[in-house]
Amino acid sequence: MPSRPVLLLLSSLLLCPALPTLGADPAWKKAEFTGKPLDGLRVALDIGHYRLKPGAMSARGVPELSFNLATARAIAPVLEKAGAKVILVNADGTVSSLAERPEIAAKAGADCFISIHHDSVNDKYLRKWTHEGVERDYADNFRGYSVFASAKSAKAEKSRELALRVGAALHGSGLRPTLHHAEPIQGENRPLLDEKTGVYEFSDLVVLKSATIPAILLECGVIIHREEELLAQRPDYQDLIAHALVKTLAEVFPAKGKEKKGLKSLFGGKR
Ligand SMILES: [Zn+2]
């Protein structure tokens, strides 16, 4: 006779014939792809912040740089599986100059630049809690992703298109944006390009306005929020974002793969 835990497992399987992936949000819809929709595309993934100034602090005291690095490392293999060549900018966390980042990307021949970040909120929302015996700041008011483009960058129009499509793809994947950057207070007050999908204009962001290639900044989640901090670390969440990026990049840069196919049909195909 099976032991009690085995019986429990069996009965739970019988009750739930179509078990979802462990813990996956039922509202999530991963943008699956087949083949190599990004064939020939070179994508720069910038890991936001650096070791000496590691960015925002999470509700549990983990610096943003760790989140940015982990998420970029999760996104890169998915883009590569889709056929892209990924250039990781600031992989060792030592690039302190913001303007240098898109420059590194452009020198490596990148077609676009995506800066990966994780978010915080205005200090007025901070509250105290004790986690593992240490008193820390948290704010559970806002959660969600956000996307930024600069109207001052050399490729402003394409950057804006990229940002809007990333926002739409994330929203279409079942994620929801945070709108707290639009709050009319000092340090925020960012104009929204699209409220529904969480896309903002932030023209003076140095890392974007100095870019010579289409460039966006993606805040993957609000890590001062106690639940979202945990969500942002989940591989399935990072994978969902990665697949939304593949979908977007294939839409915005369709020519890369087709160019080759076009040439092949001209010179190498049937006559
Ligand atoms: Zn950041």
Percent residues over pLDDT 70 in the chain: 86
Residue 24 alpha carbon to ligand 1 centre in Å: 26
Residue 217 alpha carbon to ligand 1 centre in Å: 9
Residue 220 alpha carbon to ligand 1 centre in Å: 10
**Rounded alpha-carbon distances, angstroms, from residue 73 to 10, 88, 89:** 37, 9, 11
Residue 64 alpha carbon to ligand 1 centre in Å: 7
Condensed to tens digits (0 to 9), the pLDDT of residues 42-100 reads 999 999 999 999 999 999 999 999 999 999 999 999 999 999 999 999 999 999 999 99
Pair of tokens at residue 69: 């690095």
Residue 26 confidence class, pLDDT cut points 50, 70, 90: confident
Query: What was the pLDDT predicted at 16?
Result: 41
φ, ψ at 99 (rounded to 5°):
-65, -25
CATH: 3.40.630.40, 3.40.50.2300, 3.30.540.10, 3.20.20.70. Which one for 34-268? 3.40.630.40
Cβ proximity of 214 and 42 under 8 Å = no
Find tokens 């105290």 and name the residue: 128
Condensed to tens digits (0 to 9), the pLDDT of residues 27-54 reads 999 999 999 999 999 999 999 999 999 9
Residues bordering ligand 1, an ion, CB closer than 5 Å? 48, 55, 117
Q: Which residues contact 4 (CB under 8 A, 6 or more apart)?
A: none
107: nearest Cα among 253, 255, 211: 211
Condensed to tens digits (0 to 9), the pLDDT of residues 166-178 reads 999 999 999 999 9
Residue 268 confidence class, pLDDT cut points 50, 70, 90: very low
Residue 162 alpha carbon to ligand 1 centre in Å: 19
141: nearest Cα among 27, 234, 224, 56: 224
Q: What is the pTM of this model?
A: 0.87
How far is residue 228's CA from residue 178's CA, in Å, rounded to a whole number?
12
Give the largest CA-CA distance in the chain. Answer: 74
Residue 19 alpha carbon to ligand 1 centre in Å: 36
